[in-house]
Amino acid sequence: MSATMREYLDIILPSYVGAMFIAIILRNINEQLALVEIPDNAINVISDLCLGIFLTMAMMGLQSRCAEPGCCVSKRASR
């Protein structure tokens, strides 16, 4: 029976961490062997787009939580 990382180390990692490790390995292999040539400006554009989407989703999530009645912000204002 295989044990999970939580059983050994009491660590829970988000599911996307595995994909990040694979991407790091593939990127380093590609840098060493030059299998696929990807221009740096293309990587910059994609990373800027992904960061913008992530920040937008994070901010929208914060706004929806604070719009609920009894939000922590409204509790602080009433003190």
Find, among 45, 46, 25, the residue nearest to 35 by Cα: 25
3-state secondary structure of 21: helix
- Cα distances (angstroms) measured from residue 71 to each of 22, 55, 58: 39, 21, 17
**pTM for the full model?**
0.48
- Amino acid 15: pLDDT: 81
Find, among 9, 43, 39, the residue nearest to 23 by Cα: 43
Per-residue confidence in pLDDT tens, the chain, 79 aa: 456 667 777 878 888 888 899 999 998 999 899 899 989 899 899 999 999 999 998 888 776 555 566 666 555 555 5
- Alpha-carbon distance of 66 to 16, in angstroms, equals 27
